Structure 1
């Protein structure tokens, strides 16, 4: 079964991450089959100073 790597800006709660993991697992089993225990999800929280979009760090003020 699959292993998912989820990278997102830090700040989500443990409850939000739990719900995300449950949803990804549920959809994976519905579409791909297999057992929920075979779905791995790795969540990485990235500091805003380590993520840039459009050449601008997310730690910088947005306009």
Structure 2
């Protein structure tokens, strides 16, 4: 069994270790497979390589940060 995970490349090795452990356990618990049958493959992408709702993730994140900054400045 192969579980393929696509995610942003900023995740740490510790996060990937925990993810692999929990995904493997979930496969064992829900599908009844043996742990040794489970392979987790991580595919890492940078934000400019992703688009959501027709907009690059890097652009969406920049807009979100700008909105947060504007909101914080409005509180001051």
TM-score, scaled to structure 2:
0.74
1:10-60 CA-to-partner distances (Å, cap 9, x unmatched) read 111000000000000001111222321110111011111100011111122
Gaps of 5+ in 1: none
Partners in 1 of 2:12 and 2:53 — Cα distance? 27
CA RMSD of aligned residues (A): 1.1
Say how many residue pairs are matched. 62
Structure with the higher fraction of residues in helix conformation:
2
Greater relative contact order: 1 or 2 (C-alpha under 8 angstroms, separation 6 or more)? Answer: 1
Bigger Rg, which one: 2
SS in 1 for 2:23: helix
Partners in 2 of 1:34 and 1:8 — Cα distance? 25
Gaps of 5+ in 2: 65-76
Does residue 62 in structure 1 map to residue 63 in structure 2? yes
Structure with the higher fraction of residues in strand conformation:
1
